[in-house]
Structure 1
């Protein structure tokens, strides 16, 4: 196929859905993943020539390999992989059980990592490709009540930053997209919550939980505009490693950079003294 083939995980709603629609409108071919067969059937009835939906749960390793192998067999390539599927989660670190932690890390980190590892051999063979990791401004700056989600996105950003250096000489690009609050279902029914609630955290994690639910449907971010920015990123010859999206993302990431720089300068003498003479 002459047009680009995009593999986008999690296109049932939010940014994933908007991106799939925008890519199709642009004229490229979308392979999108859903977790339910009924969603796949509905999507494929609407799109017979310009897209294809498949069932995939990215927390199942064998399912990932089988899915990618089938796509390569049917279409011969994957030009752009967008690791969009993931979950939100709110709760203080102490409130969160290990089972809940794993339920966040399985899709946000391990599933995304496995998707990336499985697609890379085909991109290496072609000496081209673009991997887009949908992170968050919360992948740069942490917030009280968001610690486990932050940790999953920090982990995603960590391996992606290193991988970008590893694959650049092979003709493969990596981009980390860092949206702020967007008008999706992230803060609604799509948001997981710690089952345990500890009163001592009511003014920190508890306040964040209330605030997050209060902004649902009122977020500043436009998923369609974000989608167009991502498409433009894939067509840019000098694309950056990171793409923040939204005014809030610019503000919060800027705050993090200022904080890190401040700590660096305050501790410069101590840091410089901790070496052999």
Structure 2
């Protein structure tokens, strides 16, 4: 018989969070779903499934994160899988974004993830098992104009997860960072995407075109959210899950293009790259 896992998913009311929640409950696992408001609405959407426990949580509030984690463990006994999904996009040239817009993006996408991780990990360490799954983005693997600030939050998630994987492995806990490409969710809607109010004309051909593309591409993205959700089910069931899991052919293509360009630059600048070593280091090689 399949052993029931207990999942803890942030931002479960829409987008990836909702799709993954559906897949988790359909698989027979238990779910702690967090939402910023109206937990009753989500519970009703799933017909008050006994395997579902909905908890209010604003991930930017660390005290609330600790409280949500404690309630989850009190309700289901433990937490096996943490999915740090809560976040939102910021469409803006790097220069256009105000300090407040940048701060707000980081408070949710990075500091919120850290708040929840710090709240959940003590319970996983006690059990000496668990799996932390952090959601990044193709923009966390390779930059796009118009997504510099948002992408930088996801670059941070990539780096944090790599370190967590190293630190948690001896404790029996896995860490994976998932980098989805463009999926057909509400990410490009106003509910998930902030467009900076400041627009600089000099960026019209780059960021301006990206703004137009974001409007045109909404709900026409190549990725299937239901298939993404099933990928999460497979990931959580894996005995040896990967540290990095890019999802979508567009993500894979973008990453391969970046690494190829990086290798080319290294070849062109090889003498400069290795020419900065101390002479005694060079002699010892």
Report if TM-score (shorter chain) is over 0.5: yes
Q: Match of 2:144, SS?
A: coil
How many positions carry a matched residue from both structures? 275
Name 2:36's counterpart in structure 1. Answer: 35
Name 1:259's counterpart in structure 2. Answer: 261
Q: How does 1:81-230 map to 2 (within 5 A)?
A: 81-189=82-190, 190-230=192-232
Name 1:67's counterpart in structure 2. Answer: 68
Q: Match of 1:6, SS?
A: strand
Q: How far apart, CA to CA, are the structure 1 residues paired with 2:43 and 2:240?
A: 35
Equivalent residue for 2:252, pick from 250, 253, 265: 250
Q: How far apart, CA to CA, are the structure 2 residues paired with 1:59 and 1:33?
A: 13
- What TM-score does the superposition give when structure 2 sets the normalisation length? 0.94
Name 2:5's counterpart in structure 1. Answer: 4
Q: Do structure 1's residue 276 and structure 2's residue 278 form an aligned pair?
A: yes
Deviation, structure 1 residue 12: 1.2
Deviation, structure 1 residue 73: 2.2
Query: Residues 13 and 42 of structure 2 are in contact (CA less than 8 Å); yes or no, is this contact kept in structure 1?
Result: no
Q: How far apart, CA to CA, are the structure 1 residues paired with 2:124 and 2:264?
A: 40
The gaps in structure 2 that reach 5 residues or longer are: 280-285
Residues 34-70 of structure 1, C-alpha deviation per residue, up to 9 Å, x if partnerless? 1112xx1122231231211111100111111111112
Residues 118-141 of structure 1, C-alpha deviation per residue, up to 9 Å, x if partnerless? 211111111100000011111110
- What TM-score does the superposition give when structure 1 sets the normalisation length? 0.96
Q: How far apart, CA to CA, are the structure 1 residues paired with 2:262 and 2:79?
A: 38
The gaps in structure 1 that reach 5 residues or longer are: none
Residues 181-232 of structure 1, C-alpha deviation per residue, up to 9 Å, x if partnerless? 0000101222101110000000011111111121001011111100101110
Q: How far apart, CA to CA, are the structure 1 residues paired with 2:42 and 2:181?
A: 28
Residues 125-177 of structure 1, C-alpha deviation per residue, up to 9 Å, x if partnerless? 11100000011111110001100001100011111111110111110001111
Query: Residues 61 and 115 of structure 2 are in contact (CA less than 8 Å); yes or no, is this contact kept in structure 1?
Result: no
Name 2:238's counterpart in structure 1. Answer: 236
